[in-house]
Structure 1
């Protein structure tokens, strides 16, 4: 079974802009345009994406030119835009319809404690500090809400071990015995993390 035969032709559509089609949360791949014949998905080339600036507002009339492929077997048409320009308003162009946005679950952001893992900090108690942090977070039952991220040099080697708390406060010469008071000072307790 071979590939379906397709006929390539140029096209020019005039219609109202309905919105961009985004992939992976940030890549603009195409756009939706309403014409008197219905709604169309149009794939965008790099040139077409560049010609979309300034960004069109929803409902703005556009004139899109490019290449269309017609599947000879089922008659389906796919569009690929090469150029997009703002068109004069046409009374025959359909009114814009609201674009349903997918509902995304909000991911709870975890608090992050940065701990230097370079040799000077490790020699001064960095390993014990990380072990103590993990134990204390587990004892407080907030280990799931707080991430300990090991980093490179924080440029305070002589004052190690160094760490940065979630509120971006830097602490030096931290000992394992100081961890409980440090977590309390920065609000990393079970009661505060639950609220």
Structure 2
């Protein structure tokens, strides 16, 4: 049993389109569609964002290409574009994995302020400075988080988790969780 790298092997809904590359078709100034002339006529194929700049830079008009595409209602969406002149497949550029930045938003309004959100914010900033991954944590002062009776409140992003009745002593424990 041999394994192939073609997308069609994983799912039968993929189609192989072969033909001449006619260029990119812009929509409102941004190229989103690849024009392809096949034996059966002209076809337009939607290109995923990571592939767009690569295709514009690497392919010359009138070049022979193969496009593995997923069939949509009336169009196709490209999965892989391969120049048939023996060149390697044009793949999306490698995605740089940046460390996730967590943001702690501390409510500084009304009753949260009266209940000590200023002290909580200072404690979080002090704990962040001592935390080994302090660069990956941002602390922001924000307006009302709509939980005034449960204040001081802290919202943790990107999880959108709300922490209620936060006390100064909890600062290090909160940062350790993120």
Distance 1:16 1:154, change over 3 A: same
The answer as to whether partners of 1:124 and 1:161 remain within 8 angstroms in 2 is yes
Match of 2:34 in 1: 31
C-alpha displacement of 1:100 = 4.0
C-alpha displacement of 1:142 = 2.4
SS in 1 for 2:135: coil
Instruction: Identify which of 162, 166, 173 aligns with 1:170.
Output: 162
The answer as to whether partners of 1:18 and 1:33 remain within 8 angstroms in 2 is yes
Q: Please list the CA deviations of residues 138-170 of structure 1 after superposition, one character each: whole Å capped at 9, or x if unmatched.
A: 112322011223333221112211013355442
The answer as to whether partners of 2:23 and 2:61 remain within 8 angstroms in 1 is no
Computed over aligned residues only, the root mean square deviation of the Cα atoms, in angstroms, reads 4.0
SS in 2 for 1:170: strand
C-alpha displacement of 1:181 = 3.2
TM-score, normalised by the number of residues in structure 2: 0.51
Distance 1:19 1:139, change over 3 A: farther
SS in 2 for 1:144: helix
More helix by share: 2
Instruction: Identify which of 67, 75, 89 aligns with 1:54.
Output: 75
What is the alpha-carbon distance in structure 2 between the residues aligned to residue 149 and residue 21 of structure 1? 43
Q: 1:157 aligned to 2:148?
A: yes
What is the alpha-carbon distance in structure 2 between the residues aligned to residue 182 and residue 155 of structure 1? 21
Q: Please list the CA deviations of residues 105-152 of structure 1 after superposition, one character each: whole Å capped at 9, or x if unmatched.
A: 222211222222223222221111111101011112322011223333
Match of 1:110 in 2: 101
> In the comparison of the two structures, how many residue pairs are matched?
124
What is the alpha-carbon distance in structure 2 between the residues aligned to residue 19 and residue 102 of structure 1? 20
The answer as to whether partners of 1:129 and 1:176 remain within 8 angstroms in 2 is yes
TM-score, normalised by the number of residues in structure 1: 0.48
SS in 2 for 1:138: helix
The answer as to whether partners of 1:19 and 1:58 remain within 8 angstroms in 2 is no
